Structure 1
Amino acid sequence: MSHNEMTMNPQTAARSSRLRTMCGTAMLSAVAYVLMFLEFPVPMLMPPFIKMDFSDLPALLASFAYGPVSGIAVCLVKNLIHLLNTQSGGVGEISNFLLGAVFVSVSGIVYGKMHSKKGAVIGSVIGAAIMAAASLFINYYIVYPVYTAFMPMEAIIGAYKVINSGVENLWQCLLMFNVPFTFIKGLCSVVITFLIYKPLSPILKGNL
C-alpha cells in the first residue's frame, strides 16, 4: 500500500489499490505485447520456428508487484492481442500463454509466501524450472499435435535433426532442446527482472 493510500479510509484505499493494479496490469500487458515482436531465432541451437523473446518479463513484474493473477492476466492479454497478427495459426500463442502462466503464477505464489528478495529469487527459479518441465508435456500433448495441421511431424522432427541427427522422435526433441531452452529463457527474464524491478517498483506500486 502506498503512503497516500495509508491516509485514506479503507474503502477509498481499496478502490485506489484495485485501480492501480488494473492500470499497471494493462500497461505491462501492452509492453509484453510489443516485446513479442522483438523475438529472434537462435540458429544452430533451436529450429527456426522456435524463437527467443522476453515478453514474459512484464508478466513476471506484474506477478511480483500485484500478485500471480495479474501476471497471468498479462500473459493472456498479450497473446489474445497477438492473435490478430499470428503467423502460427494460434499455436504459438497457446504455447506462450500456457508456459508463461505457469512461470509467473509459480513465481508469484512463492514470492507471496516469502516476501523478500530471497523469496523472489527462489520463486522465479522454481517457476522457470517448473515451466521448463511443463513445456515437455504441453508441447507433446497440446502444442505440437495442433502444429501438425500446419507442418507434418516428419518435417518438425527433421528441423531438430538438422541440429542433432541423433534425435529419433518428438519426445527426444523436446527433452533435448525445448526443455533446456525454456529454462534458460525463463532465467533470462529473471535476471532482467532483478535488474529493473527495484527502480520500477515505486512506479508500479504507486509509492512515488
Structure 2
Amino acid sequence: MMNLGKLFEQVKDNVIFILISIIIMVAVYAIAKLSEKLIEKKTGVKFNQAKTRINRMTVIAMLSALAFILMFFEFPIPFVPDFYKIDASEIPVLIGAFMFGPAAGVVIEGVKVLLHLVIKGTTTVFVGDFANFILGCFYVVPAATIYLFKKTKKSAIIGMIVGTAVLVIAGCLLNAFYLLPKYAELYGIPMEYLIAAGTAVNSNITNVFSFVALAVAPFNILKGTLVAIATGVLYKYVSKIIKN
C-alpha cells in the first residue's frame, strides 16, 4: 500500500508539473506571438501571409524533423556530470525562428520534443522533456525577437547573447529548485549522490549552488555559444536555399 501511495504521489506531482508546463508553453507561445506583432508594427514585415503560409508550414515541419533527428546525437562534456549531454537540435529551431518569427521557433521546439516523446518515450515521466522545451524557448524567443526588430549581423549577435544569458539563468533556477530534486526523487537516490557526480568532475562542487554555478551554467553557456556560432555560419546559406 505504501508503494502504491508513493506511486500516486509521484504521478500527482508530475501531473501538476505537466499542467504547469502546458500553461508555461501557452504563455511562451503567446509572448512569441506578441513579439511578432510588435515586430510587424515596427518593421512592416508580415510573418503569416496567406500566399506563403503553406511554404512556411512545410519548412517548419522540415526543420522540426531535423531538430528531432539531431536530438539523438548527444555528446558528453568533460567538465559536467555525464547525465548532461549536448546536442545540436536547437540550431534548426533558431534558424526557423530567425526566418519565420519567434512563434515558429516555439512550434518547432514543441514538435521536436513531441516527436522525441512519441518515438523514444520518456525516462523522466515527462519532466526532462518539458524542461527541454521550456529552456529551448527561453533561448530562441529572445534571440529571434531581438534579431527581427532590426535584421543585421549586430542584432543577431546581441540576440543570441541575450538568449544565452536567459538560458543560463533559467537553466540554473530550474535545475536548482526543481529538476535536481525531482530527478533524485524519481530515481530514488539522495541529492548528495547527484552532487557527488559533480564533485567527481570538479572538486569545487560541494552543494546545489556550486553545482548549478560550476556545472549547469557553463554547460548552458557552451550550448548557447555553439548553437549561436553554428546558426551564424549556416543561416544565410540555409535561408537562401529555402527561399529559392
TM superposition shift of 1:90: 2.7
1:188 aligns to what? 226
> CA RMSD, aligned part only?
1.6
Q: Name whichever structure is richer in helix by fraction.
A: 2
Q: Pairwise mapping of residues 72-87 of structure 1 onto structure 2 (< 5 A)? A: 72-84=106-118, 85=120, 86-87=122-123
Is the counterpart of residue 121 in structure 1 residue 157 in structure 2? Answer: yes
178, 194, 198: which one aligns with 2:216: 178
- Which residue identity is paired with 1:179? A
- 2:64 corresponds to which of 22, 26, 29: 29
Q: Work out which of the residue numbers 93, 97, 103 in structure 2 matches 1:63.
A: 97
Runs of at least 5 residues in structure 1 that lack an aligned partner in the other structure? 1-12
Distance 2:143 2:110 in 1: 17
User: Counterpart of 1:105 in structure 2: which amino acid?
Assistant: V
Query: Quick one: which amino acid aligns to residue 190 of structure 2?
Result: P
Report the identity percentage. 35
What does 1:123-202 align with in structure 2 at a 5 Å threshold? 123-148=159-184, 149-150=186-187, 151-202=189-240
Distance 1:34 1:152 in 2: 33
Residue 196 of structure 2 contacts residue 206 of structure 2 at CA under 8 Å; is this kept in 1?
Answer: no
Does residue 111 of structure 2 align to residue 107 of structure 1? no
| Comparing 128-137 and 144-153, the one that deviates more | 144-153
Which structure ranks higher in relative contact order (CA pairs < 8 Å, sequence separation ≥ 6)?
A: 1
- Count, aligned residues: 193
User: How does the TM-score come out when normalised to structure 2?
Assistant: 0.74
Contact in 2 for aligned 1:95/1:139 (Cα 8 Å): no
TM-score in terms of structure 1 length: 0.87
Q: What is the one-letter code of the residue matched to 2:128?
A: G
